[in-house]
Amino acid sequence: MSKFINWKSNWLNGNFQLFADGVQKGMISFSSWRSDAESMFEDKNYQFANDGFWKSRTKVIDRKTLEVIAIINYDSWKSMAVISLNTGEQYEWKSTGIWKSQWTVSNYKDEHIIYTSSSNSGTISSNTDNKLLIITGLFIKQVYNKRTALMIACIVPVITTSTLRHH
């Protein structure tokens, strides 16, 4: 079954709202200073809890059963991640657009989700009803957005300081 979802994000806090047919169907709410998040999509409720240095791994917890249902492992150098479900299935998240405005979640067999963005909104086109995968694709994108912002925040003062010293 094909699913088409629109999303909007708040650039100040990184939170997302998901809409289908103009009706809000879900959301992702991030912690203020961390990349942990709570999410709800239709009848599913997930918690994303990061662990590891540089948040290299995220546990996805079903809020109803408190069971870890997936683990996300990040490859920071390639802007990709692997989503490993507790059923043994694996999916790859990767950025596909030159300007990081498109990304996908796929098992390269029968489930494929395409995300597009322009500024603070975008679309999700999915051939699966797997709510966990749909919401996880947006979560991972925001984790990489936060890492990029942190890197810029660390590098700009160094460049500015070294440039001022040489004048």
- The C-alpha atoms of residue 58 and residue 81 are separated, in whole angstroms, by 10
Which position has the higher pLDDT, 136 or 151? 136
Q: Is the pLDDT of residue 32 over 60?
A: yes
**Both tokens of residue 75?**
């490859």
Residues in the chain: 167
Q: Find the mean pLDDT for residues 97-114.
A: 86
Q: Which of 54, 74, 34 is closest to 151 using CA atoms?
A: 54
Question: How would residue 49 be classed by pLDDT, with cut points 50, 70 and 90?
Answer: very high
Model-level pTM?
0.82
Q: Find the mean pLDDT for residues 69-97.
A: 90
Q: Find the mean pLDDT for residues 43-67.
A: 87
Q: Which of 25-39, 50-64, 109-123, 141-155 shows the lowest mean pLDDT across its residues?
A: 141-155
Secondary structure (3-state) at 93:
strand
DSSP classification of residue 63 = T
Q: Find the mean pLDDT for residues 152-164.
A: 63
Q: Is the pLDDT of residue 121 over 80?
A: yes
DSSP classification of residue 149 = H
Torsion sign, CA atoms 68, 75, 80, 97: positive
